[in-house]
């Protein structure tokens, strides 16, 4: 008789998994699925927050082109040129939420069209652009990078407000023309 066959014949048959072992596997899979779902939702919020960065960069580009043509910046919000920053002055009025809202409607303020800013689709954030002339300083905290010399230049501040998980806590992204490469972020993924 072959020794391999003899060794298999002497080995007892495997009884399989017990119910306790099976339940442990189910618990482990449940924990892993929970961690995966949480990580995936955080990843989605972070990737969706990229919209604010992209759109603020597009607004900055349009503001630079507008100033080159008209020697001033173009303010835009929900009711024309805003006098202050804030979600109540931002456009579109249907956002911010996890749902997308159309940026262009029949009631889009003319200043957005005048600026030439055109998002490629619906948005999850609300946007506002506040402009100023010397010697008016930009609002805090942007005024920290603005010096108070007499030769100050025109300025703009563009902000985006979002609530990607609908918990009524806003994330705010802001860009100041005096420090164009710096993006100010508060509560990025809430």
Query: Over the stretch 56-81, which tens digit does the pLDDT of each residue have?
Result: 999 999 999 999 999 999 999 998 88
Least confident of 109-118, 139-148, 176-185: 139-148
Cβ 113 vs Cβ 91: under 8 Å: no
pLDDT tens string 119-130: 888 999 999 999
The answer for residues whose C-beta is within 8 angstroms of residue 65's C-beta and 6 or more apart is 116
Domain ranges of the chain: 18-48, 50-186
Q: pLDDT, tens digit, for every residue of 83-94?
A: 899 988 999 987
Burial of residue 53 (CB within 10 Å: 0-12, 13-18, 19+) is middle
Which residues have CB under 8 Å from 93's CB, separation 6+? Answer: 78, 126
* pLDDT of 188 higher than 70: no
pLDDT over 80 at 22, yes or no: yes
Spatial neighbors of 28 by CB under 8 A, at least 6 apart, are none
Q: What is the mean pLDDT of the chain?
A: 83
Its pTM stands at 0.76
Please say if the pLDDT value at position 7 is more than 70. no
Q: Given this model, what pLDDT does residue 189 score?
A: 61
The Cα–Cα gap between 5 and 8 comes to 5
Residue 9 has a pLDDT of 59
Grade residue 118 by pLDDT with cuts at 50, 70 and 90. confident
Dihedral of alpha carbons 11, 15, 21, 26, sign = positive
Question: pLDDT confidence of 34, banded at 50, 70, 90?
Answer: confident
86 Rama sector, left if φ>0, alpha if ψ -120 to 50, beta otherwise: left
Q: What does the CA dihedral 6, 12, 15, 20 come to, rounded to 10 degrees?
A: -120
With CA atoms as reference, report the closest residue to 160 among 108, 119, 106, 115: 119
Least confident window among 18-27, 158-167, 181-190: 181-190
Tokens of 182: 């710096």
Query: From the CA atom positions of the chain, what is the Rg in Å?
Result: 28
Q: What angle do CA 54, 161, 127 make, to 5 degrees?
A: 65
What pLDDT score does 190 carry? Answer: 57
């Amino acid at each position: 008789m072959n020794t391999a066959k003899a060794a298999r014949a002497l080995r007892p048959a495997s009884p399989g998994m017990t119910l306790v072992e099976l339940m442990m596997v189910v618990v482990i899979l449940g924990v892993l699925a929970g961690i995966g779902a949480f990580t995936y939702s955080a990843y989605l919020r972070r990737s969706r927050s990229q919209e604010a960065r992209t759109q603020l960069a597009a607004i900055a580009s349009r503001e630079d082109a507008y100033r080159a043509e008209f020697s001033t910046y173009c303010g835009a919000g929900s009711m024309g040129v805003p006098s202050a920053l804030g979600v109540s002055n931002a456009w579109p009025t249907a956002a911010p939420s996890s749902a997308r809202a159309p940026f262009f409607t029949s009631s889009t303020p003319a200043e957005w069209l005048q600026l030439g800013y055109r998002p490629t689709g619906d948005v999850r954030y609300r946007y506002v652009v506040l402009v100023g002339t010397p010697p008016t300083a930009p609002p805090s905290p942007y005024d920290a990078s603005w010096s108070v010399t007499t030769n100050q230049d025109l300025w703009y501040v563009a902000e985006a407000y979002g609530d990607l998980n609908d918990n009524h806590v806003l994330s705010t992204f802001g860009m100041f023309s005096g420090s164009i490469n710096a993006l100010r972020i508060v509560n990025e993924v809430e």
